[in-house]
Amino acid sequence: MPTIDAMLNTFATLFVTIDPAGLLPIFLAVTAGMKASERRSVAVNSIIIAFVLLIIFALAGSTILDTLGITIHAFKIAGGLMLFYIAFEMIFEKRQARHEKSSQTALTKDDISNIAVFPMAIPMIAGPGAISATILLAENFGETWSGFGILVLLIASVMALLLATFLLADYIDKAIGTTGRNILSRLMGVLLAALSVQFVADGITALASAA
């Protein structure tokens, strides 16, 4: 049974990696001009798709690594470095600018019915960082079905918060403003940076012990 600290760390890792506050202005951009019912549909469908994808990677991620001959310790280091890069982008606003550019491109090419899949579900919600974090976290929780069930509940809780954020997008955006979004993004970036360094340190320690 995972400890309370492990569950809190897992929730924090998923929360800052998926980054609901950072996705808020992107969601507003890609759903601009939609009716309220259409915006709700995009929110619900994109989160369902992303949730299913993350569960699949939580279940089969280790098998994929084994097939490719990659140890989980090496993946921890690689995943930690990737998460650190995402944290760097969050702190210095590069991630937000890139997402906004992607969303603008998607609006000109994709029908509204496909926006839930791209760019919202993939790659903005279930992106490389979230997938990497899910595979790494599954190693800590996936030894028993009860542990895996807890991981699923933690992923679902983050998705529920993301859904609430999307459904309240207009109100939240007006309440926190641009300054509030920037502050939240930087704070989560610093937290993700610390967690990513811990991933790398754990991976190096495990590789050194196995050598």
Q: What is the pLDDT of residue 108?
A: 43
Q: Give the span between the Cα atoms of 93 and 95, in whole angstroms.
A: 6
- Other CB atoms closer than 10 Å to residue 80's CB: what's the count? 23
Q: Rounded to 5 degrees, what angle do the CA atoms 64, 153, 160 make?
A: 110
Domains of the chain (ranges; CATH) run 4-210 (1.20.1250)
* pTM higher than 0.75: no
**Residue carrying the six token digits 């300054």:** 179
Distance linking the first and last C-alpha atoms of the chain: 29
Q: Is the dihedral of CA 151, 153, 154, 155 positive or negative?
A: positive
Q: What is the pLDDT of residue 106?
A: 46
Full pLDDT tens readout for the chain, 211 residues: 678 888 998 999 999 889 888 788 778 777 766 788 888 989 999 999 999 999 998 998 878 878 888 887 887 788 778 778 877 877 776 655 555 555 555 444 445 668 888 778 987 898 777 888 898 888 777 668 888 899 999 999 999 999 999 999 878 767 877 777 677 767 777 877 887 788 788 889 988 888 6
Q: What is the pLDDT of residue 109?
A: 41
Q: Give the span between the Cα atoms of 103 and 169, in whole angstroms.
A: 16
